[in-house]
Amino acid sequence: MMRKLLIVGILALVVLAGGIPLYLQRYFKEEVVAGPSVTNVFKLSNYFDGIKGTIADTDVFELKGSEEGGKTLVIAGTHANEPSAALLAYFLIENLEVEKGTVYVIPHFNVSGSLGTQPGGGFPLYFDIETPWGEKTFRMGDRGFQALDQWPDPDVYVHYPDGQLLSYIDARNTNRSWPGRPDGFLAEKVSFAAMEMIRNEGIDIVIDLHEAEAMYPVTNCIVAPEKSMPYAIGASFYVKGREKFNNHVESSPTGYRGLSHREIGDWSDAYPFLLESPGVHLDQITAAKTPQLIVDGIDPFVLQAGEKGLLYVPYDENGFSMDRRVGQHSSVIQEIMAQWTKKNPERGFKVSAPRYADIVNNGLGSYFKDPSKADKKDVYLQ
Amino acid sequence: MTLIMFLYYVMTAYVVGMLIWNFIKTKDIKSEILYTLALLPLILRLLRMK
């Protein structure tokens, strides 16, 4: 009897020691301070009440200029293990100035995915960004919906409406769930809600933010379908010529279904773009997955892979920092809108935010506002 | 929570119950440890921790 009690005691200790940090992470809130251009914050379920009150619902920040113009939707957190996306969203919410047009920002498109890390992936639960007022803490997330929220997985995920057979795990992937459907998996429902927003609001540009491995060919790039291609190429040329960083263009495949850069363009009048920055913490070959690796992007094994010509991005001992990744996203987004404005002046934009060089030189943290000093009504918990 | 998801939680609770029952009944220490290890992820799921 004593032996059984001892074993039960050890089990309880393991459950508590392992489970409590996971529980706390699931309820940890990130803070964002609404900047001067934020005019409204509402729920995505305004466009589809099938996600109302569920973990699939999420906040949408509206930044509206005084002059009428086009509409851009920036989607971050599709894959919550690619954190430069959410950080760029927070950066835009706090710093983007909009004079003409409207920019909508979703920091956590897949809220569920942001509430826990990949099982067995060895990722830290949090990472910090240095700011002038202290460290700002963010949750590390996972690629898809948590199994806690969407369970069980099917044997095979059948994409709607194409019928293409995809991996079972992609049933929880909000970048295989487009254009979504109102009675599907939660991942399909949140994509359907976003499609309803895009169609009902008449969104012109949709930008889906991601990170990818340095050893994966589709990284450090803009993925665009045929109709978005001229704007993507213009933005790519501009940032290479003026801002001195590479961000090549990849063509969105027509035969691979469920991806934002394909389905949003096919199922609405919007012009979709998917941005990839190199997040080496995603590479399988790295040393320990530490918070520092996520922030600095410095890894000796990735460096060795680079010396052997196995990477698809330029990589040296300085790594690929969060500042660079967020900086690239900021510049490319602004440049896509600038290219769009040149060809569609009546639906154009006048926006500004610090760009690549500013963020790399000053540090991303210097652009985050201190929530403890902000007006409480401007602080939003995510 | 969908009906299928709810049923999976019910199935998990059932399996947890069976494992606890077998843990109590067995006299073999290896089986006790085995049942305990099998219980760990199921308890984390039932408590909605992971």
Structure tokens at A309: 């010509």
Confidence band for B32, pLDDT divided at 50, 70 and 90: very high
Res A129: pLDDT: 98
**How far is the C-alpha of A97 from the C-alpha of A352, rounded, in Å?**
5
Contacts 24+ apart (CB under 8 A), A366-369: A366/A131, A366/A132, A367/A91, A367/A94, A367/A95, A368/A33, A368/A90, A368/A91, A368/A94, A368/A129, A368/A131, A368/A136, A369/A33, A369/A35, A369/A94
Query: C-alpha angle B27/B30/B32, rounded to 5°?
Result: 60
- State the pLDDT at residue A149: 95
B24 close to A (CB below 8 A): yes
Q: Angle at Cα A265 formed by Cα A262 and Cα A269, nearest 5°?
A: 175
Exposure string for A200-228, b = 16+ CB within 10 A, e = fewer: ebebbbbbbbbbbbbbeeebbbbbbbeeb
A255 vs A252: CA distance, rounded Å: 9
Share of chain B above pLDDT 90, in %: 92
Separation between Cα atoms, residue A13 and residue A19, nearest integer Å: 9
HSE toward the beta carbon, residue A93, CA cutoff 13 A? 31
CATH code of the domain containing A368: 3.40.630.10
In a domain, A5, yes or no: no
Whether B50 shows a pLDDT value over 90: the answer reads no
Query: CB–CB of A235/A335 below 8 Å?
Result: yes
pLDDT digits (tens, 9 = 90+) for A208-250: 999 999 999 999 999 999 999 999 999 999 999 999 999 999 9
In a domain, A3, yes or no: no
- How far apart CA A160 and CA A179 sit, in angstroms, is 8
Cβ distance A4 to B8 less than 8 Å, yes or no, reads no
What pLDDT is recorded for position A169?
Answer: 95
- Is pLDDT above 90 for A1? no
Residue A64, domain member (yes or no): yes
The yes-or-no verdict on residue A58 having pLDDT over 90 is yes
Do B36 and A3 count as a contact with CB atoms less than 8 A apart? Answer: no
DSSP states of A121-135 as a string?
S---SEEEEEETTEE
**Bridge pairing between strands A59-64 and A38-43:** antiparallel
Answer whether A190's CB lies under 8 Å from A55's CB.
Answer: no
Q: Are B49 and A22 inside 8 Å of each other by CB?
A: yes
B35: its two tokens: 């049942």
Pairing of strands A126-131, A379-381: unpaired
CA of B28 to nearest chain A CA: how many angstroms apart? Answer: 10
pLDDT, mean of residues A153-160? 97
Give the whole-number percent of chain A exceeding pLDDT 70: 100
Q: What is the predicted pLDDT for the residue at A322?
A: 98
**Are A161 and A182 contacting, i.e. CB atoms less than 8 angstroms apart?**
no
The total of structural domains in chain B comes to: 1
Tokens of A329: 């996203």
pLDDT, tens only, A60-106: 999 999 999 999 999 999 999 999 999 999 999 999 999 999 999 99
DSSP, collapsed to helix, strand or coil, labels residue A219 as coil
Contact B47 A15 (CB under 8 A): yes
**Mean per-residue pLDDT of chain A:** 97
Contact assignment for A148 to B50 by CB distance below 8 Å: yes
The domain in which residue A82 lies consists of 11-381
Give mean pLDDT, residues A155-182: 97
The rounded distance, in Å, linking the Cα atoms of A126 and A20 is 14
The CA distance from B16 to the nearest CA of chain A, in Å, is 13
Q: A7 near B24, Cβ under 8 Å?
A: no
What is the total residue count of chain A?
382
| CB neighbour list of residue A14: distance below 8 Å, 6 or more residues apart | B40
SS (H, E, C) A258-300: CCHHHHHHHHCCCEEEEEEEECHHHCCCCCCCCHHHHHHCCCH
Number of domains comprising chain A: 1
Cβ pair A15:B43 closer than 8 A? yes
Residue range(s) defining the domain that contains residue B27: 3-46
Q: What percent of chain A has pLDDT over 90?
A: 99
CA distance A124 to A229: 37
- B49 CB neighbours in chain A (<8 A) are 15, 18-19, 22-23, 26
d(CA A50, CA A30): 25
Tell me whether residue A105 is in a domain: yes
Give the DSSP letter string of B10-50.
HHHHHHHHHHHHHHHH---HHHHHHHHHHHHHHHHHHTT--
Q: Is A319 helix (H, G, I), strand (E, B) or coil?
A: coil
Residue B1 has a pLDDT of: 84
Would residue A4 count as lying in a domain?
A: no
Partners of B5 on chain A (C-beta within 8 Å) are: 150-152
Nearest CA in chain A to B42: A15
DSSP class of residue A52?
Answer: T
- Look at B36 and A15 and tell me if their CB atoms are within 8 Å: no
Residue A2 counted as domain residue: no
Q: Which residue of B has its CA nearest to A27?
A: B49
